[in-house]
Structure 1
Amino acid sequence: MAALMIQGCGSDVGKSVLVAGLCRLFANRGHVVRPFKPQNMSNNAAVTEPDDKGPHAGRRGEIGRAQALQAIACRTPLTVDMNPVLLKPQSDVGAQLVVRGQVEASYGAMAYQARKAALLQVVLDSFHRLEAEADLVIVEGAGSPAEINLRSGDIANMGFALAADVPVVLVGDIDRGHVIAALVGAKAVLDTADGAAIRGFIINKFRGEPALFYDGRREIERRTGWPDLGLVPWLAAARRLPAEDAVVLGQPGEASPRRIRIAVPILRHIANFDDFDPLQAEPSVDLSYVPPGSALPGDADLIILPGSKATLSDLAFVRTQGWDIDIAAHVRRGGRVMGVCGGFQMLGRTVSDPNGIEGAPGSAPGLGLLEVDTVLTDDKVLEPCRGLTPGGAPYEGFEMHMGRTTGEGLTSPWLRRTDDAGASASVGEGAISADGRVFGAYVHRLFDSGPARAELLAGLGAASTALDHRLQVDRALDEIAAALETHLDVAALARLAGLKEFKP
């Protein structure tokens, strides 16, 4: 079967968006397409369909959010094979390792370097399963193959490409500058076999007059020997797609008149912040991610505590930043506070990690705004959920957490679940304070639902488009696919991938 790998000259050069766009492009042409990323590092994840192989058959797993988006682009359900190795950072030098959707253990950076080579066979097995069911597999690399200090035991870039015999296209980001040096420099430092695996290059995120960069593209071809496969313009539609990496947080968005203000503090281990993309897309909302070192805005209408990969550590971080004081003052002024997953846990009375699931064992008082207590356990909850908001608006999402929350606050649930054995709105979800101003739950992707989002904003005095966010994402994928059709040599990409029955 056919396969093509998109690698980059660095992180955040647009690989994930290009792979998603190519997945939709070839799917729109009638091909059966699957996304694949051997190894990902992200705290933004999604829940998959139940695994059908190995010791975890029948259990749902988790994969990186980028591969979930790419699966949507392919119009196919999410499976653990699409991202068999996922690292979820818990500190600057350590991460939780998820293999085929299930938590294996936490590793320090050096310990993982010793572990990862043994994961190559796991990666190859997942790739071959996808290959067997698809016309085309589009693979995303991680970071850059030019990080030759990490080449030994590599499973994310050239180590995988050579083992699986998959041709590589290298992407350079012209928006950040020095793209000629980045591509030519990659050629210079790669060994002969790795350099030969690269069959072409793409320039991404171009703004301006393409003719002005014609000579630059020819010079890259001359110095590398790699063919030029296209110049992709800045894709405005990419802003409507979920971002995977926290590097995008705090970057300025498009200026427009806004009415209400929602503030989200950037925790050190913030997770699944794409939950708030639908709110950010609302014309009536000014949603800002507040960086460390800044106070939470006193004029916020709503403060949202997001998910966290290390709840106790981030709870301590909230206090060192003085955000606990800001939140308490906000509540005294009559403001609203929402917690999602780890943020919901922080709103309670206590958070305990007796077994050191997310870091050093310990416990700490929560913010004390909800009458609940959480104990972190190693049995991770991974499940889809649907239900109704307090006003009866339907929602769909998923739960992904390692904590168990108890307490009398749960007798006043914020949401209602309707997906347990077909039960009608009788299972409570989360908690809400007596005055209705503090609330939280474990549900991710709640605000993809237009009616659920409209209800929240109405409570804050703002109007909503009430559009289904999934539909907006789907339209953005089609726009990106159409742009790639125009600006890339799609026929050449198909030939490189070995797609024998290319449907032009």
Structure 2
Amino acid sequence: MLQGTGSNVGKSLLVAGLCRAAVRRGLSVRPFKPQNMSNNAAVTVDGGEIGRAQALQALACGVEPHTDMNPVLLKPETDIGAQVIVQGKRRATLKARDYARLKPELMAPVLESFERLKAEADLVIVEGAGSPAEINLRQGDIANMGFAAAADIPVVLIGDIDRGGVIAQLVGSRIVLDPEDAARIKGFIVNRFRGDPSLFDDGYRMIAEQTGWPGFGVLPWFARATLLPAEDALDLQPFGDGAIKIACLALSRIANFDDLDPLKTHPGVRLEMVRPGQAIPGDAAVVIIPGTKSTRTDLAFLRAQEWDIDLKAHHRRGGRILGICGGFQMLGNSIADPHGIEGEAGETEGLGYLDVQTVLAADKRLTRVTAVHALSGLQVAGYEIHLGRTEGIGCVRPFAHIHDCPDGARSRDGRVEGTYLHGLFTSDPFRNAWLQGLGARTSAFSYAAEIDTVLDELALHVEAHLDVAELLRLAQV
């Protein structure tokens, strides 16, 4: 099990790299994260949802993502509450205090999923969440040491030198941990080093002396990681230097934003995130309103940033708008939540660009699909993950067809589009055609092949700098 001295220290990427390295050695491997918190989810082969990082790790293993790989997923809906997904299915929406009371009941399904993965693979690589040094959360813990103890597995602790204070991160964790938990840690890794790693030899030695843990290596910064799907919205940065600018609104509850990833490396394109307080760039060719975990809340957030005013100006100038999932719902005339599924019951006026209305309901649609784009006739592989139904006159001009049923809508002038399809830009021919409509040139770039290449490069990077053989020995492989 790889645990971290904090959130965002590189655990997810390191697990993916180790998974691919082990696969390249001929092993059957599965990723596992007992509890994850993310609004960036993936639809699994068994019809559930898991964190996007575990889907990437499954890809690194060469297997389909399965709900057993992330049995507990928390999807924040407010600052104090989250939707609780257990083994792929929505169980409840709870405030943090109520979830703390539920956690002890979740260890059973967590261990059940873990045992199933163990039975089908040579190696399971487990990712922790947050930090085991958060000892105030130790009682009832299912994400870090609580799980490690229940499953009786060894732990390696990761520190992030790029954020500074890595010696304090690792030594401090050793000091605050319960002796039994500290004894479960069998070594450490220093992650994200920039420059000459030999310059840290003294620091590396001091960590080993202060903690009594051996080191498994210092892993240099892996620059190509920016091409891999990110799970944390904080990782979203401007990408590309092309003349065609695509602006995406960074909503407060942004979800499934990996929809944007295939656009990053297309020649002639620049992808920009519009942060709170910023105006939508006046030279944007298209504005994307992405998915969100709370549509009405984020529509209010959008208006609070005065992005609705910017959108009107953008549209007046001839710019295009694409809404995906929750973004599609916002582009309609109204969004009704009569049962309070995503918050307080009520109805919110939409942006009015598409002549459709949305009614939210408890049933969540979770499915992988292959659609046909209405204008180009090209196939689009993707997935749906949403609550509610969207209907109206605007649907007579659908974005796509799924099994002959219409999906989404287009405005009469064709410059405003909405769809429920996530992952639509991973389909190379469709992405090329859609970007050509903005003036981009055709590219032979294959998104799937590029991701696979980067995972291979990551595995080689891990092999070159970490003692992978000793890590596998620790895992009894």
Fold-level similarity (TM above 0.5)? yes
Query: Matches of residues 242-281 of structure 1 in structure 2 within 5 Å?
Result: 242-249=229-236, 251=237, 253=239, 257-281=241-265
Q: What is the correspondence of 1:121-270 to structure 2 with a 5 Å cutoff? A: 121-249=108-236, 251=237, 253=239, 257-270=241-254
Partner letter of residue 47 of structure 1?
V
Percent identity, please. Answer: 58
Q: Following TM superposition, by how much is the alpha carbon of 1:470 offset from its aligned partner in structure 2, in angstroms?
A: 1.6
Gaps of 5+ in 2: none
Q: Distance in 1 between matches of 2:100 and 2:444?
A: 46
1:366 aligns with 2:362: no
Q: What do residues 173-193 of structure 1 show as CA deviations (whole Å, max 9, x unaligned)?
A: 111110011000000100101
Deviations 1:344-385 (A, max 9, x none): 000000001111111111110100000111011111000111
Between the aligned partners of 1:374 and 1:62, the Cα distance in structure 2 is 23
> Displacement, 1:252?
5.2
Residue in structure 2 matched with residue 435 of structure 1 by the alignment? 413
Give the drift of 1:387.
Answer: 2.1
- Give the corresponding residue for 1:336: 320
Checking the alignment, whether the CA contact within 8 Å between 2:238 and 2:272 is kept in structure 1 is no
TM alignment of 1:101-112, pairs within 5 A: 101-112=88-99
- Give the Cα separation in 2 of the matches to 1:349 and 1:468: 37
Q: How does 1:339-358 map to 2 (within 5 A)?
A: 339-358=323-342
Counterpart selection for 2:385 from 400, 415, 418 = 400
Q: How many Å separate the matches in 1 of 2:456 and 2:442?
A: 24
Q: Kindly provide the CA deviation profile for residues 406-462 of structure 1, in whole angstroms up to 9, marking residues without a partner as x.
A: 111111111122xx3xxxxx3322111111100010000000111111111111111
Q: Counterpart of 1:99?
A: 86
Of 439, 446, 466, the match for 1:488: 466
Work out whether residues 451 and 466 of structure 1, in 8 Å CA contact, stay in contact via their aligned partners in 2: no
Aligned AA (1:398): Y
Aligned-partner SS, 1:106: strand
Letter in 1 for 2:405: V
How far apart are the structure 2 equivalents of 1:311 and 1:394?
A: 28
Find the counterpart in structure 2 of residue 298 from structure 1: 282
CA separation in 1, counterparts of 2:147 and 2:446? 38
Distance 2:366 2:425 in 1: 19
CA distance in 1, matches of 2:442, 2:264: 11
TM-score (norm 2): 0.98
Aligned 8 A contact 1:235 1:480 in 2: yes
Tell me the CA shift for residue 466 of structure 1. Answer: 4.2
Whether the aligned pair in 2 keeps the contact of 1:258 and 1:284 (CA below 8 Å) is yes
| Alpha-carbon displacement from aligned partner over 1:89-118 (angstroms, at most 9, x marks no partner) | 001111000000000110101111111111
Q: Which residue of 2 aligns with 1:381?
A: 365
2:18 matches 1:22: yes
Q: CA deviation at 1:465?
A: 2.2
> 1:493 and 1:428 mapped to 2: Cα distance?
50
Question: Deviation string for 1:324-351 (max 9, x for gaps)?
Answer: 1111111111110000000000000000
Q: Does 1:467 align with 2:445?
A: yes
Task: Give the AA of the match of 2:328.
Answer: F
Looking at structure 2, the residues matched to 199 and 317 of structure 1 have their Cα atoms a distance apart, in angstroms, of 46
SS of the equivalent of 2:204 reads helix
Alpha-carbon distance in structure 2 between the residues aligned to 1:382 and 1:216: 48
C-alpha root-mean-square deviation of aligned residues, in Å? 1.0
Secondary structure at 2:2's aligned position in 1?
Answer: strand
Q: Which range moves more in the overlay, 353-362 or 137-146?
A: 353-362
Match of 1:325 in 2: 309
Q: Within 5 Å, which residues of 2 pair with 1:301-312?
A: 301-312=285-296
For structure 1, the 5+ residue unaligned runs are 51-59, 421-425, 500-504
**Are the equivalent residues in 1 in contact too, given 2:267–2:440 (CA < 8 A)?**
no
Question: Following superposition, which runs of at least 4 residues in structure 1 exceed 2 angstroms of deviation?
Answer: 464-468
Task: Give the whole-Å Cα distance in 2 for the aligned partners of 1:370 and 1:466.
Answer: 33
Tell me, what secondary structure is at the counterpart of 2:77?
strand
What code does the residue aligned with 2:216 have?
L
Indicate the residue corresponding to 1:36 in structure 2.
32
